[in-house]
Amino acid sequence: MVAGHPCQVYEPPQRNPHGGSVVFLHDVDAAGLGGRAAYIEQFARRGLPCIAPISGRSWWTERVWAGFDSAISTERFVMDSVLGYVANVWRSRPPQVAVLGIGMGGQGALRLSFKYPDRLPIVAAVSPAIDYQLAYYDEDEPALPTIYPEPEAARQDTATLHVHPLNWPRNIWFAVDPADDRWYTSAERLKMKLSALGIPHDADLDTSAAGVPTSYTDLMAAKAVDYLVERLERERLRM
């Protein structure tokens, strides 16, 4: 537990020598690292400790959702409590902390990194649900209608709308399966915006797993974690 909320923590058999660590933001299944053996394997290979806060279907926003907490948003929980844990326990402080997310967590990772580029300068997102307002009227969607009055309010709070033309994270990577009918277009739109603003980024919008979400997220595990390791080292050398 961290500040009264459940978190999963993975400690590799041997830690990397330079203090890098990862905050992992889960998808709508709220399983955290459960079922993410491909990612745990990569964290072990690279010696990266990882913490995965469990938030329910919160969408990782700055707005309070009663399904998580009656007073604190998941954004504040991550930025204050989770990063505090990482600093106190693993002695990892920016820029030696990377954020990685899948689906709902992918958009959350991008959104947090765009909002706090100095504290989260390294971000990787797999299948990010960037235009999450599209899920507003889903039958199994408990959170969005309670934290936003309408889909447009949610759209105004998406990662793409938080891109600042003069202040951005130095290390951005995201990937979406081109067969993903729901989330591919918003990733393509984000890529176009970043390119138009001259913001350096890496995006894989070509690799496909024929639209099978689990196969795709597993397929991208090594690419995502390798990117984080490369950029953690780049940031270490910058320091």
**Token pair in block for residue 104:** 């709902």
For the chain, the structural domain boundaries read 7-232
Query: Which pLDDT does position 214 carry in this prediction?
Result: 79
Distance from C-alpha of 124 to C-alpha of 24, rounded to nearest angstrom: 10
Query: Which pLDDT does position 25 carry in this prediction?
Result: 98
Q: What tens-digit pLDDT sequence spans the chain (239 residues)? A: 999 999 999 999 999 999 999 999 999 999 999 889 999 999 999 999 999 999 999 999 999 999 999 999 999 999 999 999 999 999 999 999 999 999 999 999 999 999 999 999 999 999 999 999 999 999 999 999 999 999 999 999 999 999 999 999 999 999 999 999 999 999 999 999 999 999 999 999 999 998 777 799 999 999 999 999 999 999 998 87
Distance from C-alpha of 21 to C-alpha of 232, rounded to nearest angstrom: 9
- The residues near 176 (Cβ < 8 Å, ≥ 6 apart) are 127, 128, 183, 184, 187, 188, 205
Topology at the third CATH level for domain 7-232: Rossmann fold (3.40.50)
Nearest to 174 by CA among 110, 222, 95: 110
- The residues near 24 (Cβ < 8 Å, ≥ 6 apart) are 32, 33, 36, 39, 50, 51, 52, 99, 100, 101, 105
Query: Which pLDDT does position 212 carry in this prediction?
Result: 73
b/e map 91-115, b = 16+ CB within 10 Å: ebebbbbbbbbbbbbbbbbbbbbbb
Query: Which pLDDT does position 239 carry in this prediction?
Result: 73
Query: Which pLDDT does position 152 carry in this prediction?
Result: 98
**Token pair in block for residue 203:** 């995006």
Distance from C-alpha of 130 to C-alpha of 157, rounded to nearest angstrom: 10
User: What order do you get walking across the sheet with 50-53 strand by strand?
Assistant: 7-10, 50-53, 21-25, 97-102, 122-126, 171-175, 202-204
55 with 76: CB under 8 angstroms? no
**Token pair in block for residue 201:** 């980024």
